[in-house]
Chains A and B, each alone.
Chain A
């Protein structure tokens, strides 16, 4: 049998969930993590990260818009997906998707962005021309009131929305962890830790993602990076990473110690097919290296330039590592047989509906949407007084 080693149940040879299903939790993870970073300033008054507040919200929105696409492309009958809204099955974690997504999109993200930008929207609606004027006017919902009082109300309501948004973000991404964690048939997935690991790795990826985007966009805008801001973000990234790494190690140690019926098969898998993606990329390159790099910046005082280089490197490695973690969970969980006697391989297509080209496109698409959103709703004032510092 092509690509199959040992014995697998005959229906198990081909993988059911492809790289697109790897992409989906990665994307919603970025959404949840970016939102948590934004909430640091809004709710926990960490003023240092304020320069990234609006960017984090727009990043979250860009990725959230793309999030349903990999799922729709995967479904055998995407035209039937409204059934999840009309007849959601209350015992299925997946059935939550429709409502949780809609809630998070409209009642959290869009509402919070709208409330924060409302003053600019009204002003832009009055000052722009043509199509943009129409777009902005629609976004005002017909209300042109930007008095002190109304803005104060917006601020208060926005604060409440952020408070509600934090558990909503956890549910948005945590339920995906539960989708995997609640499958008793698959020992690689079945674990009460799974939703927790997903949430913490989401926070890590979201924080790293916004940090990297902030640094990259600021550089493109030829502005200077607020060093105190990225220092603070890096510090939070470091601490959340420690928690995330501890959780993953707990899972690993528990697995090795208990050595249940699946252990021999899974252990073999990790040492052969998953060696590169799990040991090399996820653990060494994607977790230990960024943690060590960030740890160094926490204990040793390094010059700004060096710190920024480290943050950028650590941030990129983190993103790769968290993607690898999703890959190892989703793909890894399908590479071994439920008989624990065999293995198959994942043959990723190139041009197929769920192939590599589509996956790459879907990964880049949010960046284009973010660019459009930044143009439409600029996170920063039009002119800046800071010239780029050396080494940016």
Chain B
């Protein structure tokens, strides 16, 4: 990720505020964060992903994700040029410790990081019986852990498999787009730790966000477009074989 001068001018004041709240020890939402100014999404650049698993580890550390459950994970695809409908896919422990070395065999390999797509028309928030999961005014789909019954209906309704029931808290859990970070001007833990810039946070309401330019000039896809979920996780270079 090349940091331009413009980006530093934007990021530095935000960082200063973030730094202050980090130093303060009891972080609170930065006072200059207005929800309606933002509409968050993520860009995932497939050709850049090397399957190192940094994002999965960073997410686990940042969000105390329980073992065996994943707020984000990486899948490795192995696709023949003759048959796109039958890929071999692996995700050993979600890709947390990377992947085994692959041998060259003339077929196509690539990595696909996955996460909550923070759908604008999310089926998961539609089915929640009590209003424990919702889309915030800034576009992040969140779960209220004090209100959730743990019925798991939302887990069934998510087409992407990004939700799980927390084993000890017994409520639904999933990627929060590091809401506690992005509201303080930081980026998500997964984007922060990605060494190749394969994951980039994007604010679709910010005209100065550099990812806008990328979205305008590259063909991007979403997962399972036929589900019409209004997914806001955009993929560059997503192969047709990806499930």
Residues in A lying within 8 Å of B, measured CB to CB: 7-13, 16-17, 74-78, 80-81, 83-84, 87-89, 91-95, 97, 179, 182-186, 334, 337-341
Task: Indicate if the CB atoms of B70 and A83 lie closer than 8 Å.
Answer: no
CB–CB A89/B131 < 8 A: yes
A97-B129, A185-B123 known; A76-B148 Cβ under 8 A = yes
Q: Hey, which chain A residues are within 8 Å of B69, CB to CB? A: 10-11
Check B227 for interface membership: any CB of A closer than 8 A: yes
> Does the CB pair A88–B170 fall under 8 Å?
no
If A338-B161, A339-B243, A341-B87 touch, does A83 touch B153 (CB 8 Å cutoff)?
A: no
Q: Any chain A CB within 8 A of the CB of B35?
A: no
Knowing A76-B170, A338-B159, the reply to whether A184 touches B123 (Cβ < 8 A) is: yes
Please give the distance in Å from B111's CB to the nearest CB on chain A: 14
Complex-state Cα separation, A183 to B131, whole angstroms = 18
The contact sample of 7 A-B pairs, CB cut-off 8 A, is A9-B160, A10-B91, A11-B161, A16-B152, A76-B170, A80-B147, A92-B129
* Chain A residue with the shortest CB-CB distance to B155: A16
Q: Mark B137-163, 1 if CB is under 8 A from A, else 0.
A: 000000000011111110111111111
Name 12 extra pairs, CB < 8 A, besides A7-B88, A77-B171, A185-B159: A7-B75, A10-B70, A16-B156, A77-B170, A80-B148, A83-B129, A95-B130, A183-B127, A184-B227, A185-B156, A338-B243, A339-B89
Interface string of B113-127 (1 = CB under 8 A from A): 010000000010011
In the complex, are the beta carbons of A10 and B127 less than 8 A apart? Answer: no
**Interface size, chain B (Cβ < 8 Å):** 44
Question: How far apart are the CA atoms of A11 and B124 in the complex, in Å?
Answer: 15
List B39-97 residues whose CB lies under 8 Å from chain A.
68-70, 73, 75, 87-91, 93-94
CA distance A74 to B123 in the complex (A): 22
Tell me the minimal C-beta distance from B79 to chain A in angstroms.
Answer: 12
Give the Cβ gap from A269 to chain B, nearest Cβ, in Å. Answer: 16
B149 touches A83 (CB 8 A): yes
| Residues from chain A with Cβ under 8 Å of B147 in the complex | 80, 83
What B residues does A84 contact at CB under 8 A?
129-130, 149
Chain B residue contacts of A338, Cβ below 8 A? 159-161, 243
- Contact check, A77 vs B156: say whether CB atoms are below 8 A apart: no
Contact status B128-A11, CB under 8 Å: no
B residues in contact with A93, CB < 8 Å = 127
Contact A12 B161 (CB under 8 A): yes
Question: 1/0 per position for B162-197, CB-CB distance to A under 8 A?
Answer: 111100011100000000000000000000000000
Give Cα A112 to B218, complex, Å: 66
Q: Which residues of A contact B88 (CB under 8 A)?
A: 7
Q: Which residues of B contact A17 (CB under 8 A)?
A: 152, 156
Contact in complex: A89, B130 (CB < 8 Å): yes
- How far is A92 from B161 in the complex, measured between Cα atoms in Å? 19
B-chain residues with CB within 8 Å of residue A87 when the two chains form the complex: 130-131
- Kindly provide the distance from the CB of A366 to the nearest chain B CB, expressed in whole angstroms: 23
Q: How far is the CB of B105 from chain A (nearest CB, A)?
A: 18
Min CB distance, A8 to chain B, in Å?
8
Q: Are A76 and B171 in contact (CB under 8 A)?
A: yes
Q: Which chain B residue lies CB-closest to A189? A: B156
Chain A residues with Cβ below 8 Å from B163 are 11
Contact, CB under 8 Å: A91 / B127: yes
A76 x B149 contact (CB < 8 A): yes
Residues from chain B with Cβ under 8 Å of A185 in the complex:
123, 156-159, 227
For A7, list chain B residues within 8 Å (CB): 75, 88-91
- 6 nearest A-B pairs in the assembled complex, by CB-CB distance: A76-B150, A76-B170, A9-B161, A339-B243, A185-B159, A16-B152
With A77-B149, A77-B150, A94-B127 known to touch, is A11 a contact of B162 (CB < 8 Å)?
A: yes
Across the interface, name the chain B residue whose C-beta is closest to A264: B85
Say yes or no: A94 contacts B153, CB within 8 Å. Answer: yes
Give the chain A neighbours of B243 by CB distance below 8 A.
338-341
The answer on a CB contact under 8 Å between A11 and B150 is no
- Complex Cα distance, B151 from A81, in Å, reads 10
- Compute how far the CA of A224 lies from the CA of B153 in the bound complex, rounded to whole angstroms: 48
Contact indicator B170/A11 (Cβ below 8 Å): no
The chain B residue sitting closest to A94, CB to CB, is B129
C-alpha spacing A217/B69, complex, angstroms: 50
- Chain A nearest CB from B63 CB (Å) reads 14
User: Are the CB atoms of A11 and B153 closer together than 8 Å?
Assistant: no
Which residues of chain B are near A81, meaning CB under 8 Å?
149
Residues of chain B within 8 A (CB-CB) of A10 are 69-70, 73, 91, 93-94, 161
Contacts of B153 in A (CB 8 A): 92, 94, 179
* Bound: A88/B94 CA distance, A: 35
Chain A nearest CB: distance from B97 CB in Å?
13
- Chain A residues within an 8 Å CB radius of B227: 184-185
Which A residues lie within 8 Å of B70 (CB)? 10-11
A95 to B126, CA, bound (A): 11
Q: In the complex, how many angstroms separate the beta carbon of B43 from the nearest chain A beta carbon?
A: 21
Closest A residue, CB atoms, query B95: A10
Question: Within 8 Å CB of A78, what residues of B?
Answer: 149
In the assembled complex, which residues on chain A have CB atoms less than 8 Å from the CB atom of B126?
Answer: 91-92
Roughly how many angstroms separate A97 CA and B60 CA in the complex, as a whole number?
36
What's the Cα separation between A186 and B165 when bound, in Å? 18
What's the nearest-Cβ distance from chain A to residue B116, in Å? 11
Q: Please tell me which one of the listed residues B93, B150, B159 contacts residue A184 in the complex, with CB atoms under 8 A apart.
A: B159
Known A75-B150, A77-B170, A80-B149; contact A88-B127, beta-carbon cutoff 8 A: no
Chain B residues with CB under 8 Å of A75's CB are 149-151
Known A11-B69, A77-B171, A184-B123; judge A83-B130 contact (CB<8 A): yes
Q: How far is the CB of B143 from chain A (nearest CB, A)?
A: 12
- Which partner residue on chain A sits nearest B173 by CB separation? A11
Tell me if B156 and A186 are in contact (CB < 8 A): yes
Alpha-carbon separation in the docked complex, A77 to B148 (Å): 8
